[in-house]
Structures are given as C-alpha cells and as structure tokens.
Amino acid sequence: MSTDGQPHILAIGGGTFVPDGRYGVKPSPLLRYALDLTGQDRPRVCFLTTAVGDGAEYVARFYSGFSRLDAEVSHLALFPMPNVADMRAHLLSQDLIYVSGGSVANLLALWRLHGLDEIMREAWEAGVVLSGQSAGALCWHVGGTTDSFGPQLSPLTDGLGFLPYSCGVHYDSEPQRRPLLERLVGEGRLPDGYAADESVALHYVGAEFVQAVSYRKEAGAYHVQADGPGTAKEVRIEPRLLATL
C-alpha cells in the first residue's frame, strides 16, 4: 500500500513495457513510477489479465516482464475459476494492482459478476495503488472509447467511476480515439476528462488529477472539456519527463 495513505491511480495510455531484444520486454519508466508510488522497497504486485481472457501466454509474458523488477509478483485469474481462494484478502494485501489491456467491456462484466468492482474500490480506498494500460486505464473512469465490440470504436459509458472523468488512451497512435472522445464529451454522453498519448500516464490522487508523466519528450496528455453544444476543446498538458534507464 502507499506509504502516504492516499488512494493513487496511474492510468497508462500505452507503453507500460518496452521491447528488450532477446529478453522480450522490460518495464518502462511508467511502471517503475507506479511502483515508486507504493513507497515500498520490495512491493507486492498483483496483475490481472481479465481483459485478455487470462490466456496462459499473457500471464507468462507479464511474469517475464515483472521479473525485471525488485517486487513480489502474483496474479489473479478468473478463468476457468478464481486462482486464489480469497480474492478480497489477496488484493487487499497488495501494494500495487496492475490491470492489462484488452476488452474493457468483458473486464467490467466479469469483475461485476465476481464482485471485483467492490473489492477494487475497497483496495483503492485502503491505499493500494491501482494502475493499468488501455482497458486497465479506462476501467477506473466513467468511460471512454473502446474496441471491445469491433475495430470501429464504440462509446464506453459504464466504467467503474472511481474517477469522475472520461478517459482517452492510445491518443496519438489510433486515429479514431481523439474525434470520438471529443464528440462524446461535447454531446454530454461522457463527462469532461483526460487523455494520454503512448508512453504517457495520468496520475490521480483520490479523485483529483495531479499530473501526467512520460518517458518520451514529444508525448502529451490532454484535458478534454465540453465547449458548447456538441463540441469539445482540448487543452494540452505537458507531462513530467521521467528518467530512462
């Protein structure tokens, strides 16, 4: 748990892991920043791959990536049944919970079916740092845009709502993301919110946005706000640049 006792969420637009030659992937500075938020020398980290169906290859890939960190790593799977006897106790004992990308619609449905929505809120309020990329970033917000239903992006309006904002991910790499989010905010179907380019993360303390961080100089974050009937404006937020390793 975070040593400052505050609830933290780090919502990552993309770039949690970066390629690393024959070793596959290594943690980017964004993931190291998430671990630093815990304030622990050897944090307990649990990752969830619900959004990709808990496929064995994804679980193995995440263990490989997290193995590069000085952390005590576990995972929580829901397929074919929960892999831990007491999900609440396990998640509340963690310092950081990390959620993978994939289908945010499927993630939300399964979490609600298993009661993980309530457990996640309890963990967050208790000071466990919550983080994730793409679906794992969108889920904590009111909503955003998703490819859960096909390659043509669709609105997502039933997120967990821990954060009372809309969220945009992959903002500079997927052309459909920006115009659809701006339209949804302008129409009032989603609240004002925040968006992140690849390699950018949005840091919230409690329900307040405090800063964006990145390891790429040209990357940005954005405050997306309704600006008259059916329109929205975008205010760029310069991320704090993190040191690369």
Task: Give the residue numbers marked as catalytic.
Answer: 134, 170
Contacts of residue 120, Cβ cutoff 8 Å, sequence gap at least 6 = 91, 97, 111, 130, 160, 162
| The amino acid at 114 | H
Instruction: Enter the DSSP assignment of 101.
Output: -
Helix (H) or strand (E) holding 33: helix 29-38
Which strands, in side-by-side order, build the sheet including 154-156? 154-156, 141-146, 163-168, 193-196, 221-226, 232-237
- CB-CB contact of 224 with 195 (8 Å): yes
Distance of CA 207 to the CA centre of its chain: 14
